[in-house]
Amino acid sequence: MKVTRIAVWSLDLPLARPYSLSGGRLHVERLDSTVVRLDTDEGLVGWGEGCPWGSTYLPAFARGVRAGIEELAPTVLGLDPRRTAVVHRAMDVALPGHPYVKAPLDMACWDVAAKAAGVPLCDLLGGRTDGRVRLHSSIPTGTPAQMLAEIDLARAQGYTSHSAKIGADVEADIDRMRVIDAQMGPGEQLTFDCNRAWLPAEAIAALQATRDLTRLIEQPCQTVDQHLQVRRRVSQPLALDESLHSYGDMLRIVETGACEAVGLKLGRVGGLTVAAGIRDVCLEAGIQLNIEDTGGTALSATAAVHLAQATPEPFRRATWLCFDQLTTNPIDGGVTNTAGWATAPDVPGIGADPRIDALGDPVATYTSDDR
Ligand code: MG
């Protein structure tokens, strides 16, 4: 089987409500997502998606996805998409780095591979585990009252796990943490996500002042080294996500004991191929995972839920459905938010297919003839 054609679409995805990230680094009202379709000489089609969360969250931006696919298309055309590790290696040789560019192509390869095998994607990623995948909300930063109002909206959608974005002025953060923590009900799970907004001294001050809360604290600072500095001085469990871009990052996290949990985002690490390997390291190291993507429609979210579905309890923590915050849904099938839980579709492949009429015309197509 060979890839014979790569088609690329750009999607404008408005958010239902504006979103502000920790530290005032990001304010986003719409996302720019890139959807790719791989056609093969055997008639099977694979879909993938890459959607950075704005341009300031990670070293990634939406137009960069499409420019990178243009760069990689001659390499991917002609390869067998079922050989996902071979394709990923070829992309790494053709374009070192730039993992977020490779993620949608990698996702489309896995979609073809699972369809060719006649199984749901999760069955190629370790096998479907029992139970459902817990979903977490993403609560934009704001005043405590604003954040509690957002949590109430999430509760109305069934969410029992919340990622509250803090990370600004230390005194204000201490207040936010105490007010929000006090409003959590029995069984509700709460993470305070700083999105690397604190300096180590600020993180130590804020976390020593709130040590009684014992909530998971995500990405308080910029680098792994800074987290190790914080790690020695605080008692709360820590999570890292924005410091995890590669196998090498994961190995260093394990070696140094930098955290108890990680956030694994498909786009940030280069797609399902690398994400599945990092997941396996976490199983060995006893590290819990949130498995999700950086943004996008039900296509990328469903791919991430497949990997979560193939990750045993109690390692899988929760998953975020970006599309729950969008006003449009151009996808047929895929996961749904069922009272705060999701289940990977039980059809061959990812099981989330973009509607051609909703995509419009592709912004680029590459064929074997172009090589
Ligand atoms: Mg985070």
- C-alpha span between 236 and 357 (Å, rounded): 49
For the stretch 19-62, pLDDT in tens is 887 766 778 899 999 999 999 999 999 999 999 998 888 899 99
DSSP bridge partners of 35: 9, 49
Residue 193's nearest CA partner among 343, 341, 17, 317 is: 317
Determine the pLDDT at residue 57.
86
Distance 367 CA to ligand 1 centre (A): 37
- Give yes or no: 2 in active site: no
Distance 242 CA to ligand 1 centre (A): 7
- C-alpha span between 324 and 113 (Å, rounded): 27
Question: Which tokens hold the place of 63?
Answer: 């137009």
**Within a 10 A sphere around the Cβ of 76, how many other Cβ atoms?**
23
**Within a 10 A sphere around the Cβ of 182, how many other Cβ atoms?**
10
- Give yes or no: 102 in active site: no
**Within a 10 A sphere around the Cβ of 348, how many other Cβ atoms?**
17
Distance 195 CA to ligand 1 centre (A): 6
**Within a 10 A sphere around the Cβ of 213, how many other Cβ atoms?**
18
DSSP bridge partners of 139: 164
Question: Which tokens hold the place of 352?
Answer: 């989330």
Distance 331 CA to ligand 1 centre (A): 25
The answer to whether 246 and 79 are in contact (CB under 8 A) is: no
Angle between helix 84-94 and 272-285 (nearest 10): 110
For the stretch 191-226, pLDDT in tens is 999 999 999 999 999 999 999 998 999 999 999 999
Determine the pLDDT at residue 207.
98
Determine the pLDDT at residue 28.
87
Please report where in the chains the tokens 């040789």 appear, as a residue.
93
The answer to whether 225 and 200 are in contact (CB under 8 A) is: no
Determine the pLDDT at residue 370.
64
339 by Cβ neighbours in 10 Å (0-12 / 13-18 / 19+) ranks as exposed
pTM value? 0.97
pLDDT 10s per residue in the chain (371 long)? 999 999 999 999 999 988 887 766 778 899 999 999 999 999 999 999 999 998 888 899 999 999 999 999 999 999 999 999 999 999 999 999 999 999 999 999 999 999 999 999 999 999 999 999 999 999 999 999 999 999 999 999 999 999 999 998 999 999 999 999 999 999 999 999 999 999 999 999 999 999 999 899 999 999 999 999 999 999 999 999 999 999 999 999 999 999 999 999 999 999 999 999 999 999 999 999 999 999 999 999 999 999 999 999 999 999 999 999 999 999 999 999 999 999 999 999 999 999 999 999 999 999 987 65
Q: Sign (positive/negative) of CA torsion 59, 277, 136, 209?
A: negative
The answer to whether 367 and 5 are in contact (CB under 8 A) is: yes
What does the DSSP 8-state code read for residue 353?
A: E
Distance 356 CA to ligand 1 centre (A): 32
Distance 39 CA to ligand 1 centre (A): 34
The answer to whether 57 and 26 are in contact (CB under 8 A) is: yes
Question: Which tokens hold the place of 207?
Answer: 């976390």
Catalytic choice (2, 102, 115, 165) = 165
